[in-house]
Amino acid sequence: MPKARNKEELDRATEHLKYEFTMLMAVAHAMASGMSTGGWLTNALLEAFVIHFRALVDFFYPPPQRKPDDVLATDFFVDPTEWERMRPPLTDELKRGRARAHKEVAHLTYARQDVTPESKPWPFVEIANQMHALMEAFNEGVKKNEQ
């Protein structure tokens, strides 16, 4: 069972959560604006998006191999299963995004060789919208939990 965190630890973790979310949304907006038309800047923006996405998706839907110092959404609930009961289901798009983040960005893998030009684009706007909805559900759940 994970260690219960005190208010100070959760408040400090909240600052990092806000950073991850703000960066994910900012990069998604930058990419959607067309500010970069290809090349290394587009790749850098996409990689930044994917790294922040990966941190957030693992926060909301932790992988089975949780590390003791991982900050998770369940840490913010007196009953950790409360978030698991109330959170939206993990969508196929987020599942695919998580798998792609691991295989195409975060790790050097042979699976990268199988990525075709047609499968290379990321649905970053849709992913950002889904992460926004998750953040709203999380914030609402935390508020109810504090009452």
End-to-end CA distance of the chain: 24
Cα 29 to chain centroid distance, Å, stands at 16
Nearest one of 53, 56, 79, 76 to 139, comparing CA atoms: 76
Q: Do residues 93 and 127 make contact, with C-beta atoms less than 8 angstroms apart?
A: yes
DSSP assigned state of 29: H
Q: How far apart are CA 116 and CA 128, in angstroms?
A: 23
Query: Residue 128: which pLDDT band, with cuts at 50, 70 and 90?
Result: very high
pLDDT in tens, 43-59: 999 999 999 999 999 99
pLDDT digits (tens, 9 = 90+) for 10-68: 999 999 999 999 999 999 999 999 887 788 999 999 999 999 999 999 999 999 888 88
pTM: 0.91
The whole-number pLDDT of residue 44 equals: 94
